[in-house]
């Protein structure tokens, strides 16, 4: 039974890894233009992720579901505060000062809970659990576009927090929630809902292709030679999610909250630590190394940790 859980979780992770390898090979073999990463990123942010969010919220967001699951938001807030308290002083171990420390501060606070989490949760837990996950990560989305922006934008640059919050993700949450709560989805033509569903199905694979394409721009050996990134990855993928889940269980959290916490905080280090430095002329090598190493390791750590978690919870 334990082995079955591990292999069932490993399978979708290998699919994601193959998509990442495809993006990596596409870049290295020059099979796509240099601006492909920019194009894929815009497709993800403006179409595919919004489609996934709208599709999930309009199908599962109801007054009864919010009443039943609002505690997920509270549990996420508890873990988020704990993550900040741990990550900020801990970042000093990786870099004493300067922008590199800000990169580690962000990476130890936030995992790739959006692109990666939104892709693997329905693949592993089923599409019906994606709504619970999106409800859980609402505080994380707000924190990323406020505190996360403050961390990653270099000092002296403009930081328009309100503009950051008015992004496709939050607009999509509002649209999806309105459609779900009012039942207005019933009047949407079927070809529209089918289109939204098909677009949402592309989000996960394309996100991994994008990750591989971005990482391929860097020297492979250099990315693998940063010892501190391995430590940060172990913290991100193993130690911190185990700690956070333990704390929540001590708070009396149910199985759903524990599982959502694992997937939100046990995901690899995201691409924002590459995107933001690149946008402001900073060094992107640390962020690229984080993405490469942590996304490779998570192929094993996520199935392993999820299997252990289900055993602890008595589900297997």
Say how many C-beta atoms besides its own lie within 10 A of residue 33's C-beta.
9
Sign (positive or negative) of CA dihedral 65, 66, 67, 69: positive
DSSP helix/strand/coil, 29 = coil
Q: Helix, strand, coil % (nearest 5) of the chain?
A: 80, 0, 20
Find which of 6-20, 80-94, 111-125 is predicted with most confidence, using mean pLDDT: 80-94
Average pLDDT rounded to a whole number, residues 89-111: 91
Our separate counts of H helices and E strands in the chain read: 19, 0
Domain spans in the chain, listed from the N-terminal domain onward? 2-312
55 pLDDT above the threshold of 60 = yes
pLDDT, tens digit (0-9, with 9 covering 90-100), for 125-143? 988 899 999 999 999 988 8
Residue 124 in contact with residue 306, Cβ under 8 Å? yes
Average pLDDT rounded to a whole number, residues 140-160: 76
158 — pLDDT class (breaks 50, 70, 90): low
274 pLDDT above the threshold of 80 = yes
The DSSP-derived string for 145-159 is IIIIHHHHSPTTS--
Lowest mean pLDDT among 18-22, 54-58, 217-221: 217-221
Average pLDDT rounded to a whole number, residues 5-34: 92
CATH topology of domain 2-312: Na+/H+ antiporter like fold (1.20.1530)
316 — pLDDT class (breaks 50, 70, 90): low
Average pLDDT rounded to a whole number, residues 81-108: 92
114 pLDDT above the threshold of 60 = yes
pLDDT at 268 (0 to 100): 93
Average pLDDT rounded to a whole number, residues 255-274: 91
State the pTM of this model: 0.87
296 pLDDT above the threshold of 70 = yes
Structure tokens at 254: 């149910």
Can you tell me the distance from the alpha carbon of 232 to that of 286, in angstroms, rounded to the nearest whole number? 11
pLDDT at 192 (0 to 100): 95
pLDDT at 160 (0 to 100): 63
Residue 155 in contact with residue 86, Cβ under 8 Å? no
98 — pLDDT class (breaks 50, 70, 90): confident
pLDDT, tens digit (0-9, with 9 covering 90-100), for 163-204? 666 778 888 999 999 999 999 988 999 999 999 999 999 998
Structure tokens at 197: 């569903």
Angle at 224 between CA 107 and CA 260, to 5 degrees: 35
pLDDT, tens digit (0-9, with 9 covering 90-100), for 235-249? 999 999 999 999 999
**Nearest C-alpha neighbor of 53 from the set 145, 117, 149, 4:** 117
DSSP helix/strand/coil, 255 = helix
Average pLDDT rounded to a whole number, residues 255-272: 92
146 — pLDDT class (breaks 50, 70, 90): confident
First to last CA, the chain: 7
pLDDT at 149 (0 to 100): 80
């Amino acid at each position: 039974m334990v082995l079955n859980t591990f292999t069932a979780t490993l399978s979708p992770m290998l699919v994601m890894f193959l998509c990442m390898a495809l993006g990596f090979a596409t870049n290295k073999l020059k099979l796509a233009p240099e601006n492909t990463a920019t194009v894929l990123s815009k497709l993800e942010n403006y179409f595919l992720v919004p489609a996934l969010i709208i599709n999930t919220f309009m199908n599962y967001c109801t007054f009864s579901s919010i009443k039943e699951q609002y505690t997920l938001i509270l549990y996420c807030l508890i873990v988020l505060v704990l993550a900040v308290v741990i990550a900020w002083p801990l970042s000093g171990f990786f870099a004493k000062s300067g922008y590199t420390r800000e990169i580690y501060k962000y990476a130890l606070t936030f995992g790739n809970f959006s692109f990666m989490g939104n892709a693997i949760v329905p693949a592993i837990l089923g599409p019906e659990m994606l709504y619970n996950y999106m409800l859980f990560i609402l505080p994380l989305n707000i924190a990323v576009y406020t505190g996360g922006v403050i961390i990653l934008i270099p000092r002296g640059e403009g930081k328009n927090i309100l503009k950051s919050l008015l992004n496709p993700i939050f607009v999509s949450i509002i649209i999806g929630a309105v459609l779900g709560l009012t039942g207005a989805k019933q009047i949407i033509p079927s070809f529209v809902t089918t289109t939204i569903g098909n677009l949402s199905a592309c989000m996960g694979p394309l996100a991994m292709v994008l990750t591989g394409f971005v990482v391929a721009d860097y020297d492979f050996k250099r990315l693998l030679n940063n010892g501190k990134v391995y430590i940060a990855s172990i913290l991100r993928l193993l130690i911190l999610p185990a700690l956070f889940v333990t704390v929540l269980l001590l708070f009396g959290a149910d199985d759903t909250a524990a599982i959502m916490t694992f997937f939100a905080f046990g995901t690899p280090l995201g691409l924002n630590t590459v995107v933001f430095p690149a946008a402001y002329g900073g060094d992107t090598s640390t962020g690229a190394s984080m993405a490469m190493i942590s996304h490779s390791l998570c192929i094993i750590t996520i199935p392993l940790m999820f299997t252990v978690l289900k055993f602890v919870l008595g589900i297997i």
